[in-house]
Amino acid sequence: EDKESKGYATLLQWYNLYYDASKTSLIGGQRTTARVGCVQWQMRPVKSVADVLQQVEYFVDALSDYQCDAALFPEFFNAPLMGLETHKTSLDAIKDLASYTSEIVDAISKMAVSYNINIIAGSMPVIEDSQLYNVAYLCRRDGTIDTQYKIHPTPSEKREWIMQGGDQLKVFDTDFGKIGILICYDSEFPELARLLSEEDMQILFVPFWTDTKTGYLRVKYCAQARAIENECYVAIAGSVGNLPKVDNAVIQYAQSAVFSPSDFAFPHDAIMAETTPNTEMTLIVDLDLEKLKKLQNEGSVRNYLDRRRDLYKIKWLGR
């Protein structure tokens, strides 16, 4: 059969006895695994910003001890601060909450450096040019900070808080891979995750805040769909408990989880792990990023490769 060399060609294969696949290069080298931690946060009355930060640091410390690369907090995890004072309207309460955002972000950024862990600090309200926005913060362990604005405020956010939507969508480079952040309702719009996927996002983080199981299931099922469509991991984290003195934030329902694509290399139900519903706890999951590459090229189905870009496309028109 070997016509070109007329049977003289020889294949030599050398095995490096000292090669250890578990060890990576000290300098350079691409990460192939990531350990992420989700915080299922309990809403409880507090007396000060220090109380909130104390609870944040408790979870950051715990996840850092388990050598997590990233910690994900829920959307509006700082909502208990709206109960510090009596407000005439929920709009006054959320504006007051926005006044604490800068202080909290600064403190969490310092925690990220001190505890050597990247922190997706849920989301917090921000006032810019007299407009309210819902903003997620990525506090890296090298001290840098990035933001992702919520693109689609919910009808309730628009009605009660006159919340505005952002106009930017980003993929963030981290020391454990490329990630995206979509706040709660944004995960229910497949176009956003698709745009992030086209920029090689590996893990999508979804901080959410839902009050009922029906609302939670919308986030859960859409997050699972995003993982399958875009061949990526999706981590979601929400809040539990209650805030009886805070208007528009009385009850919570959550079951935080990490989802995977659906194929033989992943769990049979495409759920890497999930928390006990409505219980304050953490979820720690190891993610194999190399599997995503193999899935893209060798999976049972290949959404990325088989996409008919000659027939349709999604284009970002914002900034």
Ordered by where they begin, the domains of the chain are 33-299 (3.60.110.10)
Active site residues: 75, 150, 184
Q: How far apart are CA 132 and CA 137, in angstroms?
A: 16
The pTM (predicted TM-score) of the whole model is 0.90
User: Exposed (0-12), middle (13-18) or buried (19+): which is 9, by Cβ within 10 Å?
Assistant: exposed
Provide CB contacts within 8 A for 8, sequence distance 6+: 2
Question: For residue 148, what pLDDT is reported?
Answer: 99
- What are the pLDDT tens digits along the chain (319 aa)? 677 888 788 777 666 666 665 665 555 556 799 999 999 999 999 999 999 999 999 999 999 999 999 999 999 999 999 999 888 899 999 999 999 999 999 999 999 999 999 999 999 999 999 999 999 999 999 999 999 999 999 999 999 999 999 999 999 999 999 999 999 999 999 999 999 999 999 999 999 999 999 999 999 999 999 999 999 999 999 999 988 888 777 789 999 999 999 999 999 999 999 999 999 999 999 999 999 999 999 999 999 999 999 999 999 998 7
Closest alpha carbon to 170 in 219, 136, 140, 125: 136
User: CA torsion, points 175, 168, 287, 143, in degrees to nearest 10?
Assistant: 30
